[in-house]
Each structure stands twice: as structure tokens, then as C-alpha cells.
Structure 1
């Protein structure tokens, strides 16, 4: 016989992230890394490669958006609810450059029912280069079972 032990919110955020990361070929393929995750928050990083630079010699805005969107996705899925973006708006503040390590920090602003609002700041060398606001919608379903099994004595 086994006993059921509930996940802490931090454990659930990590487990949800691990499950989602296994299925996220896009973020992995772009060389993103998960720096940290907690309930309603996620930090991801990515280095700007030569194939991510546009004709102006700066980071293509699409790649900056992808990093911000991935951080947003991991933040809004960190509560073990399968969630997608409903809408996003990004403002580019400064250019990213070849070789920059971009860090996207997403945090939950509001979560009510199936809807959420998240802000994501993308920085290079601790200087903001973009700000994204994302609206999420939960689809139903979970990434991991909500209880873990421990052997009983």
C-alpha cells in the first residue's frame, strides 16, 4: 500500500515545467534555458546567435518575442494547468546584439478563473530591451498528477 503526499506549490511548478519542457522543441531548438521557475513566475535565457541577427545587424525582434513568449508560457503553466496565450503585446526598447545573453523574467500580475495576465521583461546585461504583456487562457487538463506517491511503512 502507498500513501499520497501532495506537492508543494514550488514542487508542482518544477514538475509542471519539466513535463512541459520535454514537449517544447521550439524553445530547446533556439538554445533557451530555464533559469528558474516558481508559481506564477519563470526566468528563461537565450544567447543571440549569428542566425538570429537581422539586416540591421541587431537581434531580430521575432527571436526576442519568442524568448519572452516562452518565459510567459512557463510562468502561466507553472500552476499545473495547461494554458496558452490568448493575446500578447511587446514593446521593443533597445536592440539586442550578437552574442548578448538575453534574460526574460515573467511574473503573474493577475489570475482569475481561466484567465491570467503576465508581464515579461527581457534584459541584456541587466538593461531592459523589451517588455511583453501576455493574456493567458487555461484549456483544462494538467501537466502532472497532482499527488505523488510515497511508500508507506
Structure 2
């Protein structure tokens, strides 16, 4: 997987091992392999990690060369446990476009199975 050359650097995503391969224009996709650093004491992926993976994809979808997306709300549902070694793909898409903001749906997949689903609201602001 090759990242888009014009994708802005997201140091938090880099820290977590999340690779953003598509961004902007209301759509983004990212990938990560779960490591032992992402686990909670029960041996499953920490909810905060899945929230971060969703948020990273959401932010990548909301930002592009002409607009800066300011996220004002995120809600997430954890649907299935995730374990070390699982390969995840997060996809964020605009679901509803309003005059000054967008409502996004983010799905985190393990293969074809959805393991988490988030919704988020982002204001569109033109870059200076």
C-alpha cells in the first residue's frame, strides 16, 4: 500500500502505525495491523485505539487542499472484539452534506466484517 504523496503528515497516525492511503474530498481509507501495544488488559484491542483509528480516517476525509474540516462530534459503536495480528481497514465517507458541514460514517473492517462503526460531524472551513 502506498500513501498518496500529497497527504499531510499525521504524526499521531504514524505513532499508532496507521497508514492513510486515501484522503480528502469526503472520503478516506486507512490501514493498520493490531500489535500488542494496542491491547487492553483483556487481550483485545483497546476501545480508545479503535476510536483513534476511526478518528484518523474521519479527519483525513474532512481535510483537503481547499478545506479544513473541524470535527465537532464523534460517536462510536464497538461491534466485535479485535485481537493482536488483526489487519484493519477504516473507511470514512460523507453520508450527508449540509451547507457548511458534513456528517460522516466511518466503518472499521477486519476483512469483510465490520468491527466498529462511527459517525462524525465536521465543519467545512476554507483554507486561507
TM-score, normalised to structure 2, is 0.88
1:59 and 2:45 equivalent?
A: yes
Which structure is higher in helix share?
1
- 1:4-23 aligned at under 5 Å gives the runs 18=7, 21-22=8-9
Distance 1:38 1:102 in 2: 20
Unaligned 5+ runs, structure 1: 1-13, 143-153
Question: What is the 5 A alignment of 1:58-137?
Answer: 58-78=44-64, 80-137=66-123
Q: Which moved more, 1:41-50 or 1:70-79?
A: 70-79
Larger Rg: 1
Change (3 A) 1:141 1:78: closer
What is the CA-CA distance between 1:33 and the residue it aligns to?
Answer: 0.7
Counterpart of 2:26 in structure 1 is 40
Q: Is the 8 A contact 1:40 1:79 kept in 2?
A: no
Gaps of 5+ in 2: none
Aligned-residue RMSD, C-alpha: 1.8
Does the 8 Å CA contact 1:39/1:79 hold for their aligned counterparts? no
8 Å Cα contact 1:41/1:78 also seen in 2 = no
Cα offsets for 1:74-118 (capped at 9, x unmatched): 111136311121001000000111011111011101222321100
SS in 1 for 2:127: coil
Equivalent-residue separation in structure 2 for 1:45 and 1:75 (angstroms): 14
**Deviant stretches of 4+, over 3 Å:** none
